[in-house]
Amino acid sequence: MLLALEGSSPTIFGENNYKYYVWEAYLTTKEPHGIYIPGPAAISNSFSGINIRKMADRACSYIGSNSGKVCLIGWSRGAAACIQVAHNLKGRGTKVDAMFLFDAVDQDTSTNSDLDLIPDSVVNVYHAVATKKSWMDRQLFPTCGKRVAKGVNLDRKDFDTSHGGVAGAGDDDAGSKVWMWEKMRNEGVI
């Protein structure tokens, strides 16, 4: 199954959520079963009530006692929520076969997990990281998911584009979609 956890909405209340590469992967996946989980509002801990923890909890609830293949894709705080899902599933003894991250950022305080560490419940992780960030953007969008536990296969690639650009929002993606789609094809996801 493919669980798609979206990045931030462009609005304060979380309506009109961005739908770029995460949404496209969800629409084109070959994986049976799946869910698209909208992201939080533009401002952390805002009126939308959606945060990294709630996104992860919803994904884990959907997975339930699934014994099949589990793949996660996310952008921004949705990618951080993917890491939280992996932490939650580790506690249940469930593995994540593949995780596809577009510039994971831990931008709220809803979790108690180390979202910089991808746990050993994940087999393969592919992380497209945006490097074209101003000093302010690096403060607002600090990249997480930079370390992996022993046994996790990490394929991380930097792209000279913005935080939004790396996931298809606005700026040129600098090749991130082509790179990530190749990884998803290799994993049989698309």
Q: State pLDDT tens for residues 103-131.
A: 999 877 677 778 999 999 999 999 999 99
Most confident of 63-67, 108-112, 141-145, 155-159: 155-159
Helix axes 21-28, 176-186, angle to 10 degrees: 30
Domains of the chain: 2-186 (3.40.50.1820)
Q: What is the pTM of this model?
A: 0.91
Q: Which two tokens stand for residue 17?
A: 């959520």
Residue 49, pLDDT above cutoff 70: no
What is the rounded distance in angstroms from the CA atom of residue 41 to the CA atom of residue 44? 7
Tell me the percentage of the chain whose pLDDT exceeds 70. Answer: 87
